[in-house]
Every structure is written in C-alpha cells, then in structure tokens.
Amino acid sequence: QVQLQESGPGLVKPSETLSLTCTVSGGSIRSYYWSWVRQPAGKGLEWIGHIYSSGTANYNESFKSRVTLSIDTSRSHFSLGLSSVTAADTAVYFCARDYFDNGGYYLDSWGQGTQVTVSS
C-alpha cells in the first residue's frame, strides 16, 4: 500500500515562496502522475497541479503563473513551489497519487495533509 507524507514549513511570510515535499513509500514513484490539492479552512478541495515521473506537469490555470512542480525519482519524492503567497494561500496542502482511468485521473492515495499559514 503506497503511503505519502507531506513535509515543509508550516508558516510562510507574505510574498515569499511556499515549498512542500511529498515523500512516497511502499510503492514506486515511477509511471504515475502525482498531484497537489489544497483545502482552505472550512472550504472545499482545489486541485493545484500534477507531475509525472518523467517530469511532465500540468497545472490549474488559477495557479499557473506561480506554481512550480518538480520530482526526484531517485529519492522518491516530489515537490510543490508556490510563489508570491498571500493570506489566501493559507490552507491544508495534500499530496496524492493519480490513478489513470478511462482517459482521466482520480486520486487513489492521499497524504495526511500539512497546514501552511501565510502570515508575517
């Protein structure tokens, strides 16, 4: 059973870059897409983007100018960078594995999530 674990600073200053890493264990990071999803307090889920093990990435247009995704298959982890953050980026950030089905991807395994607060 694959397991995912997010890590990174819980507090980021406005205008700085949020950086998170998701470590994959119990399964291979290769041949899958890997997603980031966030959830502001009391609100719904918002897909940020995903990255394939080859490095190919797709992004939610809402974040495209600020997001960077990267992957290190040798270390079995992938990372999210979100620049120029504001208080609106305060949320729980989840990493998840994409599972291919009928031309699209649903999220079959999730990390526990990590709270990131943007504040000075």
Partner 1 sequence: EIVMTQSPATLSVSPGERATLSCRASRSIGSNLAWYQQKPGQAPRLLLYGASARATGVPARFSGSGSEIQFTLTISSLQSEDVALYYCQQYNSWRGTFGQGTKVEVK
Q: Is residue 54 close enough to count as binding partner 1 by CB under 8 A?
A: no
CA distance 77 to 16: 22
Do the beta carbons of residue 96 and residue 111 sit within 8 Å? yes
Q: Is residue 91 close enough to count as binding partner 1 by CB under 8 A?
A: no
**Contacting partner 1 (CB under 8 A), which of 38, 89, 111, 118?**
111
**Contacting partner 1 (CB under 8 A), which of 44, 67, 72, 89?**
44
CA distances from 58 to 11, 55, 67, 112 (A): 26, 10, 10, 23
CB of 10 to partner 1, least distance (A): 16
**Contacting partner 1 (CB under 8 A), which of 47, 67, 80, 85?**
47
